[in-house]
Amino acid sequence: MPAFAPLTPLADAAADLAHGRTSATQLTETALARAGAGEGPSTFTRVLTESARAQARASDLLRAAGVVRSPIEGLPISVKDLFDIAGHATRAGSRLLENAVPAAHDARIVQRLRAAGAVIVGTTNMTEFAFSGVGINPHYGTPRGPWGREDGGGRIPGGSSSGAAVSVADGMALAAIGTDTGGSVRIPSALCGLTGYKPTARRVSTQGALPLSTTLDSVGPLAPTVRCCALLGSILAGEPYSEPLAAHAAHLRLLAPTNVVLAGMDATVGAGWERALARLSRAGAQVTRAPLAPLDELAAIHARGSFSAAEAWAWHRRYLPEHQGAYDPRVAERILAGQRMGAADYVDLLAARQRWIAAMRAQLADFDAFVMPTVPIVAPEIAPLVASDAAFFAANALLLRNTSLVNFLDGCAVSLPIHAAGEAPVGLSLACPGGHDQRLIALALAVENVLRRAAP
């Protein structure tokens, strides 16, 4: 069977197709075979075998006729289980919705992927209703992250886009589309050695995606490189694509906050973080280590509740508490907390967010972006988090802490892998205020170039 290696950049796969070295059908059959083995059964909630094969055959026929719809023509892509696929129930990783009325239409982003010629391999597993950064799912199983499997153990893939990350890491898809409400694209990317891009929320439509928080939800890709993410970001947004140019590394002005985001950092992440900052400094980047004062206000701002809990409760109150037994108990607990937030508290939070965003923008005005570890710890083992609520919620809070501040900022961010070969995956996050996605991509390309040149 022809095979492509995991983490093949989209441009490389497209070049293989253009030069006749492979076909969409061959790439798709490889992806489907991998989805049926190893972590595949817990990575996908639905493998769309027949439709994927039909899309691949159609792509090959169009290419033979000289028609290439986009740079992702014929490439296998996975989508998270909360995007509508016409003719199928959108389950969002739950048992509650497995017999729901099938979707009448594809989600907007699925429509755009299909129009671009992508082959949709299947819907990927996730934390139930996207409400956790850990990636454990008691209904459909938990795909193991790629690190540490060889010793027989299992470590979390990160969530909520858990299956999305594993589908790419294991070559079941060349890229994946997930959602990010508090880090759900960037956390699994960091823990699985991928590049993850969270666009400014308004850039990509959430039409046809089951919501967690309508205020914070955003849609983005998990892929091998920054260029892959830039290409997919344009397609998802329905924008014309132009090849991005990297910023000059020697011109980068980066703020590395010393408060909040480094607390609880383990030794492996700490070593990767320091190594990455040293390499950027040697390349000429101006890296300023200093407190970012507004970060210290986040706990007080959220003392009365969060957008995620309140808005999740608004959606799920039709099912909770009457059908609570069908939920992952940990997910239900977090959703039910939303009913304790009053209307006045919610209005206060809206106002506090706008003040906080203004303060952040003022503090970041002299910098191109701010950088931090995507998550401060390497992937924990699955078993202890399954066994202990205390361990689970402690890990969940730590995993979400850094990434969620970008969602509250209404910002955009890229997580880049910074670990050396053989080490546990570690991610570096590069973030900007909202609306600066093109600048972010240019900066991320520069950082990626520096770190890859310096990699041992």
Specify whether 160 is catalytic.
yes
Any domain includes 322 = no
> Tens digits of per-residue pLDDT, 305-319?
999 999 999 999 999
Q: What band does 455 get if pLDDT is binned at 50, 70 and 90?
A: low
Instruction: Assess whether 135 and 43 both reside in one domain.
Output: yes
Look at residue 323 and tell me if it is in a domain: no
Check whether residue 228 and residue 262 sit in a common domain. no
Q: Does residue 360 sit in the same domain as residue 223?
A: no
Domain boundary among 237, 265, 284: 237
121-144 residue pLDDT tens: 999 999 999 999 999 999 999 999
On whether residue 77 sits in a domain, the answer given is yes
Same domain? For 257 and 173 the reply is no
Query: Same structural domain for residues 228 and 138?
Result: yes
| Secondary structure of the chain in HEC code, one letter for each residue | CCCCCCCCCHHHHHHHHHCCCCCHHHHHHHHHHHHCCCCHHHHEEEECHHHHHHHHHHHHHHHHCCCCCCCCCCCEEEEECCECCCCCCCCCCCCCCCCCCCCCCCCHHHHHHHHCCCEEEEEECCCHHHCCCCCCCCCCCCCCCCCCHHHCCCECCCCCCHHHHHHHHCCCCCEEEEEECCCCCHHHHHHHCCEEEECCHHHCCCCCECCCCCCCCEEEEEECCHHHHHHHHHHHHCCCCCCCCCCCHHHCEEEEECCCCCCCCCHHHHHHHHHHHHHHHHCCCEEEEECCHHHHHHHHHCCCCCHHHHHHHHHHCCCCCCCHHHCCHHHHHHHHHHHHCCHHHHHHHHHHHHHHHHHHHHHHCCCCEEEEECCCCCCCEHHHHHHCHHHHHHHHHHHHHHHHHHHHCCCEEEEEECCCCCCCCCEEEEEECCCCHHHHHHHHHHHHHHHHHHCC
Last residue of one domain, picked from the residues 200, 216, 237: 237
Active site residue 198: no
Q: Is residue 4 part of a domain?
A: no
Of 261, 302, 361, 312, residue with least CA distance to 94: 312
For residue range 178-199, what is the model confidence (pLDDT) as tens digits?
A: 999 999 999 999 999 999 999 9
180 and 276 within one domain:
no
Instruction: Kindly report the CATH number assigned to the domain that includes residue 377.
Output: 3.90.1300.10
83 and 166, same domain (yes or no) = yes
Q: Same domain, yes or no, for 44 and 101?
A: yes
What domain range includes position 209? 10-237
Looking at the domain assignment, is residue 370 inside a domain? yes
Mean pLDDT for all residues in the chain: 96
152 pLDDT tier (thresholds 50, 70, 90): confident
Q: Say whether both 227 and 256 belong to one domain.
A: no
Do the domain assignments include residue 282?
yes
Catalytic residue among 132, 160, 161, 234: 160
**Given the residues 59, 80, 162, 198, the one annotated as active site:** 80
Q: Are residues 65 and 174 in the same domain?
A: yes
Residue 335 lies in a domain: no
- 133 and 206 share one domain: yes
pLDDT at 286: 98
Active site residue 42: no
In a domain, 305, yes or no: no
- Catalytic residue, chosen from 132, 184, 306, 415, is 184
Please give the pLDDT value at position 453: 76
Q: State whether 15 and 89 are in the same domain.
A: yes
pTM for the predicted model, two decimal places: 0.97
pLDDT in tens, 57-103: 999 999 999 999 999 999 999 999 999 999 999 999 999 999 999 99
Provide the domain count of the chain: 2
Of 237, 261, 285, which residue sits at a domain end?
A: 237
pLDDT of residue 151: 78
